[in-house]
Structure 1
Amino acid sequence: MNRYTKPAIYLSLLLMFGGVARAQEVTFTPPFDFPITFSGNFGEIRANHFHGGLDFKTGGTIGKPVRALADGYISRIRVTHGSGYVLDVAYNNGYNTINRHLSAFVGDVARRVEDLQYEKETWEIEITPEPGEYPVRAGQIIALSGNTGYSFGPHLHLDVFEADTDDYIDPLPFFKKKVKDTTAPRAESIMLFPQPGKGVVDRTQKRQSFPLNPKQPITAWGVIGAGIRAYDYMDGVHNRYGVHTVILEVDSVEVFRSVVDRFSENENRMINSWTYGQYMKSFIEPGNTLRMLHASNDNRGLIDINEERPYRFVYTLKDALGNTSRVRFTVHGKRTTIAPVEHREKYTFRWNKVNYLQEPGLSLVIPRGILYDDAYLNYAVRADSGDIAFTYQLNDTRIPLHGRCELRIGLRRKPLEDMSKYYVASVNSRGKKYGIGGKYEDGFMKTTIRELGTYTVAIDTVPPEITPLNPKQWGSTGRIVFKAKDEETGISSYRGTIDGEYALFGKPNSISGNLVYEIDPKRVERGKHVVEITVTDGCGNRTTEQFTFVW
């Protein structure tokens, strides 16, 4: 064992077995009084993060009563664009939960939220009650399920935290007696990762994917890593889920194991190091300290193919209920010349150092601990005539960072005096620009980035567009709905009024992005009214529209 494995294994075993023991001692009432099924499980691979909890199905409808899991109290109340209506509960048994994507709060909580929204004139709010201000009992209705925030359909997202550590933990053990599942995980394909300058697969240093039963023998030489794309399934539903445990053995010796049972908020972005797309790597990059990953050899789970013979790989896949499957494949050692990495030292970033990049019109500082592995940048600069700034390709494919670092891009010219209209843009492979903010300072636009990609500076002077949706039906449905759109820097704020008085417009579902006001008969009388909506983008461009309706 080395520094990557031994402390991590002991700590993880302590946490894992301690957590299992506590989970076995604690009982939770299910959040619903109907049979439990899931649309998502703990630890699924998501963009830049792990799925932090369980997604409970609600029969395709909203408004299902959500119940307290045990005795405790409501610890936080929020309305956000990301998670919609959110309720945090602290339980007396040492666990805390977050209920996300709710459609409504109930009782005094609902009244307090609405009062604060009108007081602050904003849909997004946060309340931290005093401990015990809103006590709950096991089975008590605390909210109604919904489809709010960044949600693709009606469901309840439930996060469970261990109060002592504040770790996200897998909630499934608390409900396993209520869940029927005899279906094992299934693999779809494998991927091999020759290490730069140290290994080759089928005579190339490029990563390659293979079917489970390749038609041609796989050959390799030198140091390589393996990965697998696999999903779990459950009885009676068509959803696919993340795999709880992945074990890799080579020639009957375990070299790597991942156990997706807990993670901290600080570890969340480490999913970018552990995964490549939907592939789970069976090795650990040197800057990745994710505790759920365990290398059993002295090489971070990497395999040294140094003999001309067959190497027998076996993957064991398990779900949280113990259902198990296996995948076997062979890699044939074939002696091959391994070319060193061609790189310019100036554009080589080391994972365990502070890295600086100074170029004409560009300044970048990457603190130590932000990179997961050494990065050999494919750096390039484009200078199109008339551009406000050069376009800087830090790398041709994005390299995710564990935290933010400062990027400064100099301006070649300033066609506008109003510097609030300038922004730093991330440029994708098709040339489309996405605003990431930034402020002007001494000839530079300064911002922070979380990945090494392509960046430039652009100007946004175009105000957002506002489109009324089905305005003839507003009176009959009691819902006023607008579509607000901005192509460059996005919608940063909105405000609506009816007859000059503030109206509680919100963005209940961030997938649709519609701005919605549910007409409140306590605040709006029957008759003809004028609704005014103002929308502002990230560069301060503003659009205001007025419409009349009869209710």
Structure 2
Amino acid sequence: MVKYLITAALCLALNAGINAQTTPIQSRPYPQNYFRYPLDLPPSTAGSFGELRPAHFHSGLDFKTNQRTGYPVHAVNDGYISRVRVQFGGFGRAIYITHPNGYTTVYGHLQSFSPAVAALVKAYQYDHQTYEADFNLQPTQVPVRKDEVVAISGNAGASAGPHVHFEIRDTKTEETINAQLFGLTIPDRVPPTITSIGIYHLNGNPFSEKTPREFLPIIGAAGNYHLTKPQTLHLSGYVGFGINATDMNSTSANHNGIYSIELKLDGQTVYTFTVERFAFDQTHAINAYIDYPAFTSSRRWMQKCFILPGSHISLYPQSINRGIITFDDDALHEVEYVVKDVAGNTSTVKLKVQSSKYTPAANKIAGTLFHYDKKNEFSTDKVKVTIMPGNLYDDLDFIYSVSPKPASGFSQVHHIHNRLTPIHDNYDLWIKPDADLGAFADKAVIVSTIGACQGGFFEDGYVKSKVTSFGDYFIKIDTIPPVIHALNILNGKNMAAAKSINFRIGDNMSGIKSYAGTIDNKWVLMEWDYKSKILSYTFNGDIAPGKHEFKLNVSDNKNNFSEFKAEFYR
């Protein structure tokens, strides 16, 4: 018979006080009517909390700003600015406000800060001679009141368009929480859309790209969905299910993420997923939540409704046998998905499953068995791989092979499993060069055959690096300095009418490590824009009329240096 166990206590914990139509599943209550919206605009979002993104769950709400910058950003309640950050990518410019009720709010992709914060940022940048800044403030330095303008909305950092990224975090744990659970709701009468389901024949084996799977298209509307080709599914053994679902709200045409998924077997919930809150060190576990092989090979966002044993993230409030169902009783069963958005709009799809007797087959291991919960080591006379516990989501049939050295390489190509298995954080990869590196030992790096540099250093006869993915790797030498391309300055030019001095900089292998500009040997602030990739110094009135000398020094991660020098007139 189908094996599952659910206790009355678990049912009560999940459903106590929950209205199935309107109230989202959540582990605890959150204060209502305490925080205001950060913008004086009708609330509309381009991105939802927990939305699926490459390598992470989206950590906040992306409030739209009419596709332009320049709107006042308000403190959502009393508190103090506790952290300020300026970075090349990411949020670009961001502030953090700590509130007395135990929560911290975050505002990202800002165009500019309030004058008080801008002065602190400028002082930090000049004191540390760096554009990027990340520092904490004391409660008495910049207190703020509810409604106070703390910044201007922008498009800074790794933003796809003008908007304000907004988060509410638990101040103590730093977990990020779905802001709509605090009453900052978005008008929404649109139920989620379901486009396909996945069926995974696990049969007691670790999940991998070799797991037999099938994807079935779904059609429907107004929350009622069914298989495009109605049928009874004949399944036996250990089976996992998946679903492809997105959501829209009433204010935007964007396809965003859903809030919760329940998988039911004959009316009993065996798996629950809900985007209530999560910690940032868990967010890479999205690669355990989705069908990572399907995403990597075909960009299919299939959300697995079973939990890999090495996945530890707080988005799974409940499961029975990790959501894996055993069909072995010759009976007809009903499998149901219940998908909701945070407003309570619901979509469902039901499947008929004819179960049959099942005899498990013995597992076959072609390579070396790695365990997700143990330290795993593999070595030959040319390579060493060490994976610590917490970096695999399931046991792994680890496969290794080697191929000849490339023309530009200093080692053979080592095929470290394959790119269809994710790594949560990183693992140690050591590769031995095929010949003495001599004077170039400190220039050695590990690179992939697709051109991605993994860094590295030479020690004990190996080039060693911490690598974030499986793939095909070998050793190269980086002796080429960064490239500096001046866009609007040359030696002897009159720059009186120019607002800025602009460059493009780049590196062919190990990547830019640092850059520094000076005018008349005095350090000046230069900003490297993430989207345009233009490095610029903006004239601010500090440069007197007359002749000046500009210098730009750029280094890469293997300490290769380039310098640009030009005299100009102002």
Q: What is the TM-score when the length of structure 2 is the normalising length?
A: 0.86
Aligned residue identity for 1:56: F
> In the alignment, is the contact (CA less than 8 A) between 2:261 and 2:339 conserved in 1?
yes
Aligned residue identity for 2:439: E
Among candidates 309, 313, 321, match of residue 343 of structure 2: 321
> In the alignment, is the contact (CA less than 8 A) between 1:199 and 1:224 conserved in 2?
no
> In the alignment, is the contact (CA less than 8 A) between 2:285 and 2:424 conserved in 1?
yes
Query: 1:119, CA displacement in angstroms?
Result: 2.2
Q: Confirm whether residue 49 of structure 1 aligns to residue 68 of structure 2.
A: no
Among candidates 463, 479, 482, match of residue 445 of structure 1: 463
Aligned residue identity for 1:192: I
Query: 1:216, CA displacement in angstroms?
Result: 8.1
> In the alignment, is the contact (CA less than 8 A) between 2:265 and 2:334 conserved in 1?
yes
Aligned residue identity for 1:285: L
Q: Confirm whether residue 350 of structure 1 aligns to residue 350 of structure 2.
A: no
Q: Confirm whether residue 208 of structure 1 aligns to residue 227 of structure 2.
A: no
Query: 1:550, CA displacement in angstroms?
Result: 5.7
Query: 1:541, CA displacement in angstroms?
Result: 2.0
Give SS of 1:142's match.
strand
Q: Confirm whether residue 512 of structure 1 aligns to residue 512 of structure 2.
A: no
**Alignment correspondent of 2:563:** 544
Among candidates 121, 133, 136, match of residue 141 of structure 2: 133
The number of residues matched between the two structures is: 537
Query: 1:369, CA displacement in angstroms?
Result: 2.9
**Alignment correspondent of 1:227:** 242
Aligned 1:261-276 pairs, distance under 5 A: 261-276=276-291
- For 1:127 and 1:10, locate their aligned partners in 2 and report how far apart those are by CA, in whole Å: 41
Q: Confirm whether residue 533 of structure 1 aligns to residue 552 of structure 2.
A: yes
- For 1:10 and 1:407, locate their aligned partners in 2 and report how far apart those are by CA, in whole Å: 45
Query: 1:208, CA displacement in angstroms?
Result: 2.9
Aligned residue identity for 1:524: I
Aligned 1:432-511 pairs, distance under 5 A: 432-469=450-487, 476=497, 478-508=499-529, 510-511=530-531
**Alignment correspondent of 1:302:** 324
Query: 1:60, CA displacement in angstroms?
Result: 1.7
- For 1:401 and 1:306, locate their aligned partners in 2 and report how far apart those are by CA, in whole Å: 34
Q: Confirm whether residue 362 of structure 1 aligns to residue 380 of structure 2.
A: no
Aligned residue identity for 1:130: Q
**Alignment correspondent of 2:258:** 243
Give SS of 1:451's match.
coil
- For 1:29 and 1:96, locate their aligned partners in 2 and report how far apart those are by CA, in whole Å: 13
- For 1:384 and 1:8, locate their aligned partners in 2 and report how far apart those are by CA, in whole Å: 59
- For 1:337 and 1:11, locate their aligned partners in 2 and report how far apart those are by CA, in whole Å: 34
- For 1:165 and 1:96, locate their aligned partners in 2 and report how far apart those are by CA, in whole Å: 11
Give SS of 1:69's match.
coil
**Alignment correspondent of 1:379:** 400
Q: Deviations along 1:331-384, whole A, 9 cap, x unmatched?
A: 45467887644324x611011222111122111222223321111123211122
> In the alignment, is the contact (CA less than 8 A) between 1:378 and 1:394 conserved in 2?
yes
Q: Structure 1 198/267 Cα, relative in aligned 2: closer, same or farther at 3 Å?
A: closer
Runs (5+) with no aligned partner, structure 1: none
Q: Deviations along 1:445-489, whole A, 9 cap, x unmatched?
A: 111123333322211222222233456997656133222222322
Give SS of 2:442's match.
helix
Supply the RMSD in Å over aligned alpha carbons: 3.2
Moved more, 264-273 or 326-335: 326-335
Give SS of 2:254's match.
coil
Q: Structure 1 385/160 Cα, relative in aligned 2: closer, same or farther at 3 Å?
A: closer
- For 1:294 and 1:168, locate their aligned partners in 2 and report how far apart those are by CA, in whole Å: 16
Query: 1:311, CA displacement in angstroms?
Result: 4.1
Query: 1:30, CA displacement in angstroms?
Result: 1.5
Q: Structure 1 175/308 Cα, relative in aligned 2: closer, same or farther at 3 Å?
A: same
Aligned 1:272-291 pairs, distance under 5 A: 272-276=287-291, 277=295, 278-291=301-314
- For 1:17 and 1:211, locate their aligned partners in 2 and report how far apart those are by CA, in whole Å: 27
- For 1:18 and 1:329, locate their aligned partners in 2 and report how far apart those are by CA, in whole Å: 27
Q: Confirm whether residue 394 of structure 1 aligns to residue 400 of structure 2.
A: no
- For 1:303 and 1:390, locate their aligned partners in 2 and report how far apart those are by CA, in whole Å: 44
Q: Deviations along 1:243-288, whole A, 9 cap, x unmatched?
A: 1111112333222110110011232222221112322111111112
- For 1:349 and 1:364, locate their aligned partners in 2 and report how far apart those are by CA, in whole Å: 11
Q: Structure 1 112/206 Cα, relative in aligned 2: closer, same or farther at 3 Å?
A: same
- For 1:464 and 1:507, locate their aligned partners in 2 and report how far apart those are by CA, in whole Å: 15
Query: 1:548, CA displacement in angstroms?
Result: 5.7
> In the alignment, is the contact (CA less than 8 A) between 1:43 and 1:50 conserved in 2?
yes
Aligned residue identity for 2:117: V
